[in-house]
Amino acid sequence: MAGICQLSSDPRPAEGFADSRHEEAEVELYMGEESQGSGTLFILESMVAWWCAERGVGFTLPYRTIVMHAVCRDTAAFPRPCIYCHLDSGELEEGSQDEALSEARLVPSRADALETVFNALSECQCLHADSDVGDDDMMFDQASVAARAAAEARLDSVFQMPTPAQFAAMSNGHPAAAAAAAAVDQVDGQFDDAEEES
Amino acid sequence: MGTLREWRSGGERTLAIFIKSLEGVVTTVELRNEDAVEGKLDAVDAGMNIFMTDVVMHRPDGSSLQLPHVFVRGSQIRYVHVPDHIDPVRAIQGQLNVFHRKPPKRRAKPKGKGPLPSHTVHGNPGGGRGRGRGGITGAVG
């Protein structure tokens, strides 16, 4: 899967982006400390795109490369309100050099656009779960859910709580232990929700 | 963040459910790149993506950045600091209860045939952590 790509032509299709969540014009993009110019930011469901017609330069950023994004109004760090982004353009290894992880800032000329851009980025990020997180536990399609349910049912059948009678038998006739065994059933429902609202 | 369906069809069997039970808690999240993000855990989804507010981000070089709203991809999280007063077992159980909460039954008129069914011990021993937050969105403003 592609990482961050630099563009040399306008990425917009003639009919416009089909999966656009938000478009914001006049957004200055900083890659690290360097301004790339002022262009249009496209928050698409598939990726983030930015295009500066004036300079003929742009970028596309898959969501998995934006490992963190934040509203930043800390003028000590950067003079203008912006969306601060951590980028991870490559495989992140333990103790890797800084070039694998860099910073970008999206600086809209419209200061009240910050929240809208932040929300649009967040919503689209949630559409892009990492495939390297691992497991089939993260698959929510019907087949995987059914497979997990079946596996759980098998586990349940293997682990059987002893019945109170069996507990009593294990207690060698001690009354206290037998009473504790009888109490097991009551403890069972301890974490259930109330069936009736009081 | 995230749908109840995503939680109940798998997310609740991952550690993300524990992090979700910490919604509302002020804590520090360490990222894989060693930045530490300190603030309030506002929302967590089944992929362990988190939304935090009133954040101070501490960089490994010692600098820090104030960020009112932060979103972190779940896969980038290395550690979540858990405050000492949190009991993980209660927190997880409480969150499971939230996901599996049955809608309240209509109170049936007793027909005089016997005692009303006694209910089991109720209430959330976890102190309300995570109650009713299943549907929260991470939107700002």
Tell me: the pLDDT tens digits for A163-174?
Answer: 777 766 665 656
The Cα–Cα gap between A71 and A160 comes to: 52
Tokens of A46: 């598939």
At A158 the pLDDT is: 67
Instruction: Tell me which chain B residues have a C-beta less than 8 angstroms from the C-beta of A139.
Output: 10
- Tokens 């999240």 belong to B29
Confidence (pTM) = 0.67
**C-alpha–C-alpha distance, residues A164 and A178, integer Å:** 8
Q: Are B62 and B43 in contact (CB under 8 A)?
A: no
Contact B47, B3 (CB under 8 A): no
- pLDDT, tens digit, 9 for 90 and up, residues A82-133: 999 999 866 544 444 444 558 999 999 998 999 999 999 999 999 998 754 4
Phi, psi of A75, deg, nearest 5: -70, -15
What residues 18-77 of chain B have any CB closer than 8 A to a CB of chain A? Answer: 31-33, 35, 37, 45-47, 49, 51, 55, 57, 63, 65-76
CB contact B10 to A (< 8 Å): yes
Q: How high is the pLDDT of residue A130?
A: 74
Q: What is the pLDDT of residues B51-79, one digit of tens each?
A: 999 999 999 889 999 999 999 999 999 99
Other C-beta atoms lying within 10 Å of the C-beta of residue B130:
26
**DSSP H/E element including B104:** none
Whether the per-residue pLDDT at A191 is higher than 90: the answer is no
pLDDT of res. A51: 97
Q: What is the pLDDT of residue B11?
A: 80
Residue B119's SS3 state is coil
Q: For residue A67, give the nearest of B46, B73, B107 by CB distance.
A: B73
Q: Tell me which H or E stretch contains A163.
A: none
pLDDT of A135-190, one tens digit each? Answer: 545 556 676 677 777 777 777 766 666 777 776 666 565 666 656 655 655 555 56
Hey, how many other C-beta atoms are within 10 angstroms of the C-beta on B67? 24
Q: What is the mean pLDDT of residues A36-65?
A: 96
Q: How confident is the model at residue A196 (pLDDT cuts 50, 70, 90)?
A: low
Q: What is the pLDDT of residue A173?
A: 56
Rounded distance, CA B13 to CA B52, Å? Answer: 23
Burial environment of residue B22 by CB neighbours within 10 A (0 to 12, 13 to 18, 19 or more): buried
Taking 60 as the threshold, does the pLDDT of residue B117 lie above it?
A: no
pLDDT score of A95:
45
pLDDT of residue A97: 45
Confidence at residue A167, expressed as pLDDT on a 0 to 100 scale: 64
Arithmetic mean of pLDDT, A61-85: 95
- DSSP notation for A16-53: --TTEEEEEEEEEEEETTEEEEEEEEEEESS-EEEEET
Cβ of B75 within 8 Å of Cβ of A197? The answer is: no
Q: Please list, in sequence order, all residues whose beta carbon lies within 8 angstroms of the beta carbon of residue A34, skipping any fewer than 6 positions away.
A: none
**Encoding tokens for residue B107?**
């109170």
Contact between B67 and B31 (Cβ < 8 Å): no
Mapping DSSP onto H, E and C, the string for A145-188 reads HHHHHHHHHHHHHHCCCCCHHHHHHHCCCCHHHHHHHHHHHHHH
**pLDDT one-digit tens code per residue, B14-46:** 889 999 999 999 999 999 988 999 999 999 999
Helices (H), A3-141: 114-125
Contact between residue A26 and residue A109 where contact means Cβ atoms under 8 Å apart:
yes
Q: What is the DSSP letter of B59?
A: P
Residues of A in contact with B72 (CB under 8 A): 67-68
Cβ contact (<8 Å) for B47 and A130?
Answer: yes
Q: In the numeric block, which tokens belong to residue A47?
A: 């990726």
pLDDT band at B48 (very low <50, low <70, confident <90, very high): very high
